[in-house]
Amino acid sequence: MNNQAQQVQPQHVHPHYTLPGIMHYLQTEFTKNERDRISWELEKFEMKSRIAQLEGENRDLRYKLSKLNVLNNNHKSTNDVENEKTLDEAQVFTNSRLAVQENVKEIIYLLKNTNIDVLNNVNIDSREKLHNLQSLNATSSVDQKMVANQELTPSFHELLSDSSIENIKLLKVSSDNSIIISGDNSIEKFNIDPNNFGKSNRMLYTGVSSNLIDVYAANNNIISLDDTNIKTWLVNHQDISSTYDLLSSDNTEIDLKLVRDVDFKNNWLLLTTNEKIHIWKILLPQEDKKNEITIETKQQIDKESENRTILSASYGITEKSIVVFYNNPFELIIYNFQGTILQKIDLSNSIDITSVKPDLSDVFIKLHLNKDSSKLLLQLDNLIVCYSFDQRQVVLRYTLPSIPDAISYKFIKDIIAISYQDGTMEVRKLSNFNNIIKEYKSKTAPSTTHHLLELFIVNNIPFLASATNNNKITLHKLPAAL
């Protein structure tokens, strides 16, 4: 009996590790460590620059005080000496700012190599993240620095209300903070003038399909995707530079009418259906070569199993990774471009949308990835679930009062902007999501709804851009304290 008892002892179950999963974990940890190290280095040089600035201001004030008190014959010589000191101190301050700029260039290089998006927001210090590189410009005027540091009005304020395009269908903010809108067979791209917050560098592109799916800006090109073609415009030319036929015999493996999600990054186009994920590498036209748009490579990833459906997908945080959201059960699966599974994240305990709507085909599902804070926000109708890749757990589960028209999730401070069908727009922070930081609803036109919105930063100032149902583009200045 003793021998039999020894034979039936339970065996220990060892966790199953795969080489791709380990590599993905190491890459994620390396990115996080590099981000922390760069944050410390940036803080150190900022403090050095700040010390040099304060020392210069202190000596300048001492000089002005001594100038008022000196009434003897040595006033002229003393004045010359102090002026020379002040010039030397100003040079020290300028050199310190230039040193910060050089370190910022190194930061951008390192972050690009680790696939961190630094174009919208490069400061990763946990105490003050809404920080723009333009404030480090050694040639910036005193007025610009004062604007960057002053407290902004706490209320929403409409600054931009004119649009040359009606029936606006898309609103986007590109990596260089250009605003892109589309409608009426046209695309308009413009910048925000930081002086009067009006339009600048405006360009209008014609020949856009009425069945537009999405628009992107990349590599000196404007790219549109519709149900039949990919079209490109060189940013300085309003006419189409190249067209790629998606209905040709080479593209019979995908029906664009079945596409659920579209994403674009580093010339890689992601097309998601319920059954497959298609990844195309696109070669874009160049101004000096007059070449046509071509598809260099095509790859596809089949769904994980026959009894599951791909609900949504987007590019991941690390280079060439894809985050896919499945049902049966609810789960996030991270792939590389070759289709190898890197990681699985079970969300079945955090999502119970099927208790309300068993048929997921009637549920609006969208992934919102925030690379700055390494978090993924999932929207299933009015249910919001946020997963943190750093903490490896769900950090928010919240049911909104109604289904949002649009959501924008940006910045390392985890700012979330939401618009509703009744015309209300609100801004929340993930760390205190129950509290609505700012809320806006038009009093003059209660029927106005903001069906598209985007968060972005101009000259250290956070803004919320929205497109309304009456074809207006509004720009709302948010509190700097966000």
Looking at residue 119, its pLDDT comes to: 37
Q: How far apart are CA 87 and CA 56, in angstroms?
A: 9
Q: Mean pLDDT: which of 5-14, 177-186, 394-403, 463-472 is highest?
A: 394-403
Looking at residue 15, its pLDDT comes to: 62
Q: How confident is the model at residue 384 (pLDDT cuts 50, 70, 90)?
A: very high
Q: Name the token pair of 245.
A: 């036929």
Looking at residue 301, its pLDDT comes to: 92
pLDDT at residue 250 is higher than 60: yes
pLDDT at residue 415 is higher than 90: yes
Largest CA distance in the chain: 113
How much of the chain, in percent, has pLDDT values that exceed 70?
A: 71
Q: How far apart are CA 409 and CA 437, in angstroms?
A: 14
Q: How far apart are CA 257 and CA 240, in angstroms?
A: 23
Average pLDDT over the chain, rounded to whole? 76
Q: Under 8 Å CB-to-CB from 222, ≥6 apart: which residues?
A: 180, 187, 189, 205, 215, 216, 232, 233, 234, 235
Q: Name the token pair of 126.
A: 């946990």
Q: How far apart are CA 108 and CA 467, in angstroms?
A: 32
Looking at residue 285, its pLDDT comes to: 82
Looking at residue 369, its pLDDT comes to: 94
pLDDT at residue 428 is higher than 80: yes
Looking at residue 355, its pLDDT comes to: 62
pLDDT in tens, 325-380: 999 899 999 999 999 999 999 998 988 876 667 778 888 999 999 988 999 999 99
| More confident site: 77 or 59 | 59
pLDDT at residue 148 is higher than 70: no
Q: Which residue has the tokens 């959201």?
A: 325
The full set of domain ranges for the chain reads 19-144, 151-175+400-482, 176-394
Looking at residue 408, its pLDDT comes to: 94
Measured torsion, CA atoms of residues 390, 394, 399, 400, in degrees rounded to the nearest 10: 0
pLDDT at residue 122 is higher than 50: no
Q: Under 8 Å CB-to-CB from 252, ≥6 apart: which residues?
A: none
Q: How confident is the model at residue 131 (pLDDT cuts 50, 70, 90)?
A: very low
Looking at residue 448, its pLDDT comes to: 65
Looking at residue 395, its pLDDT comes to: 94
| More confident site: 147 or 260 | 260
Q: How confident is the model at residue 127 (pLDDT cuts 50, 70, 90)?
A: very low
Looking at residue 393, its pLDDT comes to: 93
Nearest alpha-carbon partner for 161 in 466, 458, 479: 466
Q: Mean pLDDT: which of 34-38, 129-133, 245-249, 369-373 is highest?
A: 369-373
Residues in a beta bridge with 473: 467
Q: Which CATH superfamily hosts domain 176-394?
A: YVTN repeat-like/Quinoprotein amine dehydrogenase (2.130.10.10)
pLDDT in tens, 178-233: 888 888 788 888 887 766 767 778 888 988 888 888 998 888 888 998 888 889 99
**C-beta atoms surrounding 239 within 10 Å:** 9
Q: How far apart are CA 456 and CA 343, in angstroms?
A: 31
Residues in a beta bridge with 229: 245
pLDDT at residue 421 is higher than 80: yes
Supply the pTM of this predicted model. 0.66
